[in-house]
Structure 1
Amino acid sequence: MNLNEGRGPVAGVVLAGGLSSRMGKDKALLRLLPLTTAAAAEPLEESADGSMLARAHSLLLSLLPVCFVSCRVDAPRQGYECVFDAVQGVGPTAGLHAALCRAEELGYAAVLALSCDLPFMDTSTLRRLLAARSQAPVTSLVTAYRERLTGRVQALTAIYEVAALPYFSDALAQGQRRLASVVPREFQSFLDYEPEESGPFFNCNTPEDLASAQAMLEHKIHGF
């Protein structure tokens, strides 16, 4: 169900075009396993079935009518509707540009972007973001979460309007990598959250992050 018909429909995109250099393996295809079924020294397994990519894709499709997967031309994601970076080496900025172009072609007004490496993201967090977009000023081109104390913007869990495409085109031309700075701050709206509400934004970039996520999952399931 699309929650933002008033401002125009929203498509989803999972950002899965990174090199995973800090992880040492393709993090999009990793999946968390309970420690009771995996050796402590190797708490995660690679699998296209039940992967972090598959989970993020399912989350978006549970709320939106269509979901793309952003990836590199040399690393397509089989079984998904892919959008490919037109420019290499600028990170998620290129992925968002490709997703916004596809969304515009299909008649969508915006794209809800979600990084593939957020194992604790949930539908309620995404629903609040969609609701915030519906209440944002009509001039707003980005609706994003922001940590209240630090001011850190969660640019990889955010909604980008198709009308922001000129800014993304300029960013690609300039080689700009910092996604949160692509659109001027005066055209961004924020949904603030407290530090204790940061769980859904825990991301897995390194083996240490994954070990922490594994321990968090085990605690959640078994309470120890």
Structure 2
Amino acid sequence: MKPAGIILAGGQATRMGGGDKGRLPLGDGSLLSHVIDRLAPQVGSMALNANGDPARFADTGLPVLPDSIKGFAGPLAGVLAGLDWAAEQGATHVVSAAADTPFFPRDLVDRLLIAAQRDGTDIALAATLDPQRGAMRQPTFGLWPVALRDDLRAALEDGLRKVVLWTDKHGAAIASFAPTPFDPFFNVNTPDDLAHAEQLLETAP
């Protein structure tokens, strides 16, 4: 069974003036539509993590899952929402992807699964290989086991917010991706980033 997929769109997008960053236009679609197109073939089912009125995403046809942890608890809260939903679907794992990262690898899920199997663990994070700094982890792109959802819930309720503190506790594997030629996990945070994404769209593999 393929893992379920959760697209993390619950960020506050403060550097873009607020709102749903994934709805920003990119090429013939939006940031979110590019993410959906890349993730859909890699997973068995897919949902969107976002807070507020879910009707604004009705056109995607995806279930919209709000955070179950009060306050803005960051990406791990979105992962937890995905894990709870995936448990209802009978899935054993979820793969997360950020809604503002339109060029992530089309073999992301396979590589995460291989890394987890290689290291004998149920959690894996993606990373970009940097020539100077080595593997730079991408904590919003990961493989997460449904079996650890209660452990994650307890950690979040205790105030944990940093992804790698929780993944390190559970011995997460790393799946490293080389630039192709740019960082495949380039994400849009500012208007300048969005303009750069338009340029990259012409050369993205």
Which band: TM-score by shorter chain?
0.7 to 0.9
**Contact residue 141 and residue 163 of structure 1 kept, 8 A:** no
- Asked if 1:54 is matched to 2:47, the reply is no
User: For residues 150-165 of structure 1, what are the structure 2 equivalents within 5 Å?
Assistant: 150-165=134-149
- Asked if 1:169 is matched to 2:162, the reply is no
TM-score, scaled relative to structure 1: 0.77
Pairwise CA distance, 1:116: 0.6
User: 1:197 and 1:212 mapped to 2: Cα distance?
Assistant: 14
**Contact residue 31 and residue 102 of structure 2 kept, 8 A:** yes
Letter in 2 for 1:28: G
**Corresponding residue for 1:65?**
44
Q: Which runs of 5+ in 1 are unaligned?
A: 34-48
Q: 1:62 to 1:53 in 2, by over 3 A?
A: same
**Corresponding residue for 1:45?**
none
**Corresponding residue for 1:192?**
176
**Corresponding residue for 1:212?**
196
**Corresponding residue for 1:46?**
none
- Asked if 1:85 is matched to 2:62, the reply is no
Structural RMSD (CA): 2.3
- Asked if 1:113 is matched to 2:96, the reply is yes
**Corresponding residue for 1:141?**
122
**Identical-pair percentage:** 30
**Corresponding residue for 1:40?**
none
**Contact residue 32 and residue 102 of structure 2 kept, 8 A:** no
Runs of 4+ in 1 over 6 A off after TM superposition: none
**Contact residue 11 and residue 66 of structure 1 kept, 8 A:** yes
Greater Rg by CA: 1
TM-score, scaled relative to structure 2: 0.83
- Asked if 1:29 is matched to 2:23, the reply is yes
Letter in 2 for 1:58: D
Pairwise CA distance, 1:103: 0.8
Pairwise CA distance, 1:100: 0.5
Of 114-123 and 166-175, more deviation after overlay is shown by 166-175
**Corresponding residue for 1:18?**
11
* Aligned positions, number: 196
Letter in 1 for 2:164: A
Pairwise CA distance, 1:113: 0.2
Of 119-128 and 78-87, more deviation after overlay is shown by 119-128
Pairwise CA distance, 1:194: 4.1
Q: Deviations over 1:31-68 (max 9, x none)?
A: 223xxxxxxxxxxxxxxx82221221232221222001
User: 2:200 and 2:179 mapped to 1: Cα distance?
Assistant: 16
Pairwise CA distance, 1:162: 1.1
Q: Deviations over 1:132-151 (max 9, x none)?
A: 334440xx231112344344
